[in-house]
Structure 1
């Protein structure tokens, strides 16, 4: 029987690559995205597009209102998204976001009788978010195996982070080899409703540098300022 996996799909470059990896590894993939009150809502359209064209068995959007607690430039319109180059944990960090997302993915995985969850976190070319580090993933996997029926019955829940140790250029090369169409993805924190990128935020900077260093043509569409 084909193994099932829940794959977190944001609509960005990394998650599109992870979905392709999971498909290539032979998993029947159930793509999960979140409408959490983010300002860059074009990523939800991109997530649906990536899931449908990338071969996911099903695609689901869970609605949460993290804007009600704020604390991030991505969920609070009163906090400006900075250009690339900020030091420390940036204001685009969304408090506990990956903890919340993985918890819901864990619940869906139990319903599907899936023992595997894929997430595109990265600890090399990233913005300094604490919930993208190996220590967080290891701790969450331990929690998952204590808190679930699957864990208690001995099946074991596994959190896969295949991009954790890769540079953005490595990710671009990997995804290109897997046939990922990065023109379908949206990474920008200030993307407009048409999915066009600002070209100045940290996410845009990391993405552009990744394509440049990989020697792959950048398909990103930028809006005119």
Structure 2
């Protein structure tokens, strides 16, 4: 018989609401998160709509200095994790953090950082590229920074399977618990790809 795995806490940073309750009420009301793009000037684009996360303030969840060193997709992951721990009423100071892991995936990762730093290298030269460029950009930073922020020392992995990434992460995290490799897993997906290149590409 396999070990039973249950979801004990939920965290949502979404275009129809921030937090589990706002997200659920948005679903019940049939709220659409799709609207005109405001994150950048999309007036020259054929498609000018997207599902943006609005009213998100990273400093509500993360130290301002630390938030500046993270791409928006990583900020979303840490904020959602904090909300999930709160929802689960989990006091991490009483938990064995070596038995808590993180499987948070992203299809694209820090594409906004990549876009900004490409602009920097071509307009200002290589010496002006941020030393945080790579740590902000690569896809596994959401999982990595979540592990670091909360001091979680269990398995930490970033699945990258396009639009299936979040579900992939949850399924894989479940199996980690079933195998007895961790007692608790933070699992899900994060994306912040509403910037010129991805919108043009899609």
| Higher radius of gyration, 1 or 2 | 2
Q: State TM-score, norm by structure 2.
A: 0.33
Q: State TM-score, norm by structure 1.
A: 0.30
Higher normalized helix content (fraction of residues): 2
